[in-house]
Amino acid sequence: MVIAIAMTMFVSCSKNRSEVNELTRSTNEPIGIAEHINLKYTDSGKLKANLISPKMLDYSNREFSFSEFTEGVHLYLYDKDKNKSTVIADYAIVYDKTGLIDMQGNVVLATSTNDTLFAKQLFYDQNKQWLSTNLPVTFRTKGDIINGNGFDSDVNFKEAEVLEINGIITLDE
């Protein structure tokens, strides 16, 4: 009788352990995988951003939900005059609650005025429509190539600033 009770408890514990393992695994894996993504961010009916990617992993099953783009992204940003700037990155994460997009790996930003930023990482705050990084950057404008450690800008690039400048090369026109 004692052996039968012990075996029953052991089997029921094993079953509970496998259920716990299944629950743990499901929260660590994406809840969905999507291909050929075309996400649009609008404000007051106006297109502000458009994110395109070949693949998205959806982690909305997490308490701090996010979407991961492991195969790269193209992000198009539109200012109030509908001018388009383009950001390309090897990898990105979009955090749902904060509206923050973290782009990493060979980040290239080309503005509507043909200024170009090269960085390892760039953050885009969708709510504030602000771009920033604290990592090394190269920013090419019409007349200069500016190297620095950090970058801040609004999406209109009226307030674009390379931080901690460590070199400027003036281009001949």
37 and 16 in one domain?
A: no
131 and 144 in one domain?
A: yes
22 and 54 in one domain?
A: no
129 and 106 in one domain?
A: yes
111 and 85 in one domain?
A: yes
- Domain total for the chain? 2
> What domain range is 9 assigned to?
1-30
pLDDT at 153 over 70: yes
83 and 14 in one domain?
A: no
pLDDT at 76 over 80: yes
Kindly indicate the confidence band of residue 13, based on its pLDDT and cuts at 50, 70 and 90: low
What does the pLDDT average to over 88-99?
94
Position with higher pLDDT, 136 vs 113: 136
Position with higher pLDDT, 117 vs 9: 117
CATH number, domain of 111, equals 2.60.450.10
pLDDT for the residue numbered 15: 54
113 and 134 in one domain?
A: yes
The average confidence (pLDDT) of the chain is 85
The answer for 82, left when phi > 0, alpha when psi is -120 to 50, beta otherwise, is: left
pLDDT tens per residue, range 25-40: 556 789 999 999 998 8
pLDDT for the residue numbered 92: 95
pLDDT at 57 over 70: yes
Which residues does residue 155 pair with via DSSP β-bridges, in sequence order?
A: none
Rounded to whole angstroms, how far apart are CA atoms 121 and 18? 40
Spell out a b/e string for 98-135, using b for 16 or more CB atoms within 10 Å of the CB, else e. Answer: eebbbbbeebebebbeebebbbebbebebeebebbbee
71 and 24 in one domain?
A: no
Rounded to whole angstroms, how far apart are CA atoms 79 and 154? 9
Rg of the chain (C-alpha set): 23
89 and 25 in one domain?
A: no
57 and 23 in one domain?
A: no
Kindly indicate the confidence band of residue 45, based on its pLDDT and cuts at 50, 70 and 90: confident
139 and 81 in one domain?
A: yes
What does the pLDDT average to over 64-85?
91
pLDDT at 65 over 70: yes
114 and 46 in one domain?
A: yes
